[in-house]
Structure 1
């Protein structure tokens, strides 16, 4: 699949915009605060109905306006599909082929994207929260059941934590209701763990191959699902649900004292191993970055395997964070494979030599124009937004 056309209205610092893209590599050039990242963000929001930069939708709406609109025309194997996402005071409205969707979960997955930013290079050495978010965001796009179970799990977890706090403050003493909440949490928790383990197994297969290639066969990469729950390896969904329910009930006194749920997939993590050793603990910065690069690139093939089509790849200023060898491997991997949107201040030598026939947009002083790699104008201005002190990116 690829994004043929994008239209924006009152998104971030874009008043209006209309752009047509290449199915290959699209390069967005410009200095900081010109709108490159905002444009990339709009594609991500169109696909996932949420931003990777903020949880507050109000920040996505151009200063002084009450709503914003993102439209895209997606080419898939069988058809062209119009998508639209409206952001306003009353929340989001999502349309697929001009038909409004009753739930966002019915909308998500129509357009699949992988975002790779400098922050993703810290996936390995960063926090468990970031690694859980990585699984939830990427897998949630291609697995409707996972997204449903994750949403339900979070709802029950919120209720359970609230009830544990009331027990810790002696506002109630109904352990029967706590049993009910534990059973509900275990029902969704067991499903989430099984699905996460399957996703990581699929991801590991492709990441291992990529990692071996980057390291010239010297390093074997593997993953390990790290859970606070005991004895969960190679268990069925039903067995995991029972294990979680049993272990939750043994934690009651401790949980009531702390007023929070202490075990479950919301506290789990991923371990990355190179030649059997934990990269987070023992790996060099270069090994950690190579691991992160292998993981992100492996997502491309996992999404293709799961959906039958390649996703879009969004690269936000990543090249500047990689050395020449890793830049080369990244660009060779994506060439002629996936539609790519790449932001950078300028085309560097590696990119000039490896990217074949890119479509280049230069963003400067409120204008976006299609240009050559040397900055020569190809098309007149294709979009315009007045400069402001707000929401630049």
Structure 2
């Protein structure tokens, strides 16, 4: 899978930009606050129809404009696919092959991306919601069923929490509707949890191998899906469903008192275990970074295994956070394997030696100029328009 071209209109600090990319490593070079991360953000948004930095889509629109647009052309084994997202104060519209999609779940998955930024190092030691979001974003790209179940679960969870608040304020409590909502929530919750467990087992296989390579066979990485459901109930959706139902019944009084749902995948966590110890609590900073890197690289292989296509890799200033050894492993692993977009203020040292024939883009105040790896300018605005014809 490759992103051949991208066109932006009023997106962040880009007024009107059209750019064609290389199939290998695309280096986005420039000083801070010039738009490098914004360009990666546009690619991420084109893929998932949501922003990784803010929950407000309005923040993506240039402050001087009322609407914004992101368009791209994706090359896959099955052919080229134009994608388009239109943003306004009324919401967003998604198009595939110029046809508007009624549901975003039918749009997501047309372009698969993996983002690795400095804040992703907190995947290991950060709050549980970071790891839940990681699972939802990555697994959602690989399975429309997962996205659908997640959407339904969130809708019912919101309804159930609202009803718990209403019940908590009443003397007489009608629990019939609560039982109905509990049953629905357990149904979708069980499917989400079983899908997570299935994907995590597959991801663990890839990550464990990569972690051993980086640690030179000194460390073993395993995953543990942490939930309040007993481990022996995690064998299939039916057993998880029954365990969730029993859990809601057992916690009913506590939930009515606290007026919120205390059980389910929205409360679960993912633990990374290195040499039989929770690396978040007992691991060194080096072990935590190796774990985060192993998981991100494993995602590449898992997405390929699940979809038949390698994803696009977005590296946002991550090289500056890795030592030479981990830089070397990262750049060696992706070389000639996945299309990569890498932001940096300076391409030097290890990176310069390891990246073969990069396509370099200099970004300055929302303007993009392209040059080949020998420094010759090779892309005018007209040439870019020719290459991006069709998006």
TM-score category by the smaller chain? over 0.9
Matched, 1:19 2:19: yes
- What's the offset of the Cα at 1:171? 6.6
Distance 1:136 1:382, change over 3 A: farther
The separation in 1 between residues aligned to 2:321 and 2:354, in whole angstroms, is: 17
Q: Is the 8 A contact 2:13 2:365 kept in 1?
A: no
Specify the alignment match of 2:191 in structure 1: 191
Is 1:207 the counterpart of 2:220? The answer is no
Aligned to 2:77: 77
Following TM superposition, by how much is the alpha carbon of 1:374 offset from its aligned partner in structure 2, in angstroms? 7.3
| Other-structure match for 1:359 | 359
Q: Aligned in 2, Cα 1:188/1:366: closer, same or farther, shift over 3 Å?
A: closer
Q: Show the counterpart of 1:334.
A: 334
SS in 2 for 1:70: strand
Tell me the distance in 1 between the aligned counterparts of 2:247 and 2:235: 15
CA distance in 2, matches of 1:210, 1:227: 26
| Contact 2:234/2:240 (<8 A) preserved | no
Which residue of 2 is the match for residue 289 of structure 1?
289
- Match status 1:308 vs 2:302: no
TM-score normalised by structure 1 residue count: 0.95
> Unpaired segments of 5 or more residues in structure 2?
385-391
Q: 1:40 corresponds to which residue?
A: 40
TM-align CA RMSD: 1.6
Aligned partners of 1:232 and 1:240 also within 8 Å? no
Partners of 1:329 and 1:159 lie apart in 2 by: 47
In the TM superposition, 1:1-393 aligns within 5 A as 1-170=1-170, 173-372=173-372, 377-380=377-380
Change (3 A) 1:22 1:112: same
Aligned residues: 384
Contact 2:35 2:365 (C-alpha < 8 Å) held by counterparts: no
Deviation at 1:226, TM superposition (A): 0.2
CA contact (8 A) 1:370 1:378 kept: yes
**1:177-213: CA deviation from partner (whole Å, max 9, x where unpaired):** 1111110100001101100000100100000110000
Structure 1 unpaired stretches of 5+: 385-393
Q: 1:142/1:172 Cα in 2 relative to 1: closer, same or farther (>3 Å)?
A: farther
The 1:56/1:365 distance shift into structure 2, 3 A limit, reads closer
Kindly indicate whether the alpha-carbon contact (under 8 Å) linking 1:370 and 1:381 is maintained by their aligned counterparts in 2: no
Instruction: Give the distance between the partners of 1:188 and 1:378, measured in 2 at CA.
Output: 52
